[in-house]
Amino acid sequence: MKLYLTMILLAFGMNANASFQGAWKIYQNGDKSHYPKLVAELIKEKMYFSAIPFLKEYLATTNKVNDAAVDKVVEELITEVGVKQFEVLPTSILEKSNAPAIRYILARKAFRQGKYDQALKFLHNSIADWNPVKPFALLLEGSIFAVSKREEQANQVFKECVEISNNHIKKEKDKDRLRQLKISRDYCIVGIPRAQFALQKFDDAYSSYLDLEKSSYIWPEILFEEAWNSFYLKDYNRTLGKLVTYKAPVFSYIFNPEIEVLKALSYMELCLWQDSKNTVEAFYTTYEKDNISFKKYIDSMGKDYKQYYSLVKEQSEGKIKNNAILNTALASIARDPAYLELYSSFNAGRDEIERMKSIENEKLRAVLNDNLKESLNMQRNLIGSYIRGQLQLFAAQIVRAFEDMSYINLEVLSKRKTELYENLPVRSDDLRSRGNLAHLRRTDKQYFWTFNGEFWADELGDYVFSLKSECR
């Protein structure tokens, strides 16, 4: 048995070294036009991140690529390392390739620049349904139609996206890609009610949001959207019910200061002045002190992406900062699908360090080691850049929330003053009865639960207030 195992290991080593020897011969030749073959040899040995610089150099130095075999290599590598490593390349270089993954990257770049028609042109070049990038391309296409106010087309694409994604999910074995596919599919599911909401079809959107399973990775963030939809339906009790779900301990990582803004607005629409005022005051108590130091802290780091990368890593290791806003923000980022995708790719790249030891040719090992360091540094900086962007976004959300809360506070004071001048009976907010089933609104799709003061897993998001409007 031992002899048999030894022979197997030797055979594996011989095959591996044969691939590396082939890669070394191509590299020594110095002809960059053969780099796709070199990359193909490295892909066989799962040295994906070590291969990235070779493919980038090939695309930068070659003319238009008209080779299906090269496109196949490009597809294979991007499928393994993700799109971010190649998004940093200029559009002029990426346009040399016809690979579907490259066209998808070009569409993403155009989308971020607001060039929606150009983005659609990149996507409308045929991408086969079986291609790994197809589900993500459909999500992007649906999003483009949605933001450019073509909601009916967005609906059709999102439905196709759900169907295609489910087909890919059935066949996928890799755990990380399976998670990405499910998240992408679920964003397509909620793309439909988002488009309906944009068309002000709030009743349709209300029903469509229910198609997202509560087990979905993105369901917690969608609760806020459902709350806004109920607000526009003037169902303020259900809005408040959706928002109170975020009080559950399982959602302690959620960072969204606008939750409290919508809560205060809902109380105001019910003319529950004291509740609205209390919400505003609680918001200031929670955010005012830490917000100043939070903003100073992230400004002090500038563009030190390595430091940003370390922030989330340390937070996941239990190292807590002396700032509640920062801690919640980092916990939120650590669960963000985009961050998880970047980080899982980074970990996969670090696995190549161990495989590097099997390379007998010292010169080749040195070259690949330099490549790997370059790619991993790039991936770490991509992660750091993403974290920086999210923290800056959170800081902007807090500023906007403070502005909204100031408006709500002034509006509540104005309404109270109006009641006083009109000699309306003085309210007894603290003494009035809280809630009555007569004020509860529900559809045929909704059940009634009696709560015992705690959340059940399958009740999260179904909680609803039954407060009477005090508007006169």
Average pLDDT over every residue of 355-359: 86
pLDDT above 70: percentage of residues in the chain: 87
70 within domain boundaries:
yes
361 within domain boundaries:
yes
Ranked by mean pLDDT, which of 13-22, 26-35, 304-313, 317-326 comes out on top? 304-313
For residue range 257-315, what is the model confidence (pLDDT) as tens digits?
A: 999 999 999 999 999 999 999 999 999 999 998 999 999 999 999 999 999 999 998 88
Q: Is residue 76 within 8 Å of residue 108, measured between CB atoms?
A: no
The Cα 180–Cα 168 span in angstroms is 11
More reliable by pLDDT, 416 or 153: 153
Residue 449 is predicted with a pLDDT of 53
pLDDT at 12 over 50: no
For residue range 105-136, what is the model confidence (pLDDT) as tens digits?
A: 999 999 999 999 999 999 987 789 999 999 99
* Domain identity same for 107 and 198: no
The last residue of one of the domains, among 112, 136, 156, is 112
Residue 2 is predicted with a pLDDT of 45
Exposed, middle or buried: residue 438 (CB in 10 Å: 0-12, 13-18, 19+)? exposed
119 within domain boundaries:
no
The last residue of one of the domains, among 426, 448, 463, is 426
Residue 435's closest CA among 152, 213, 244, 180? Answer: 244
For residue range 32-49, what is the model confidence (pLDDT) as tens digits?
A: 888 999 999 999 989 999
Band the pLDDT of 467: cuts 50, 70, 90: confident
Q: Where are the alpha helices (DSSP H) in 236-361?
A: 236-244, 258-269, 273-300, 305-316, 324-334, 337-350, 352-355
Residue 10 is predicted with a pLDDT of 39
455 within domain boundaries:
no
Band the pLDDT of 425: cuts 50, 70, 90: low
Residue 335 is predicted with a pLDDT of 92
* Domain identity same for 296 and 421: yes
* Domain identity same for 280 and 408: yes
Average pLDDT over every residue of 67-84: 92
* Domain identity same for 160 and 294: no
* Domain identity same for 267 and 407: yes
For residue range 220-231, what is the model confidence (pLDDT) as tens digits?
A: 999 999 999 999
* Domain identity same for 378 and 257: yes
Residue 361's closest CA among 6, 17, 13, 14? Answer: 17
463 within domain boundaries:
no
* Domain identity same for 365 and 285: yes
147 within domain boundaries:
yes
Residue 221's closest CA among 196, 200, 242? Answer: 242
Which one-letter amino acid corresponds to residue 173?
Answer: K
pLDDT at 445 over 60: no
* Domain identity same for 360 and 413: yes
175: containing domain: 127-217
Give the number of domains in the chain: 3
Q: Following CA atoms 243, 342, 56, 60 in sequence, which dihedral angle do they give, to the nearest 10 degrees? A: 20
Band the pLDDT of 385: cuts 50, 70, 90: very high
* Domain identity same for 146 and 202: yes
452 within domain boundaries:
no
The last residue of one of the domains, among 54, 82, 112, is 112
410, HSE (Cβ side, Cα atoms, 13 Å): 6
* Domain identity same for 94 and 170: no
More reliable by pLDDT, 51 or 21: 51
Residue 131, token pair as written in the block: 């291609």
- As a residue count, the chain comes to 472
pLDDT above 90: percentage of residues in the chain: 66
Across all residues in the chain, what is the average pLDDT?
Answer: 87
Residue 287 is predicted with a pLDDT of 92
432 within domain boundaries:
no
Average pLDDT over every residue of 56-74: 89
User: What value, to the nearest 5°, has the Cα angle with vertex 274 and ends 227 and 397?
Assistant: 45
* Domain identity same for 107 and 136: no
Residue 441 is predicted with a pLDDT of 57
Band the pLDDT of 8: cuts 50, 70, 90: very low
The Cα 6–Cα 12 span in angstroms is 10
* Domain identity same for 5 and 107: yes
Residue 5 is predicted with a pLDDT of 39
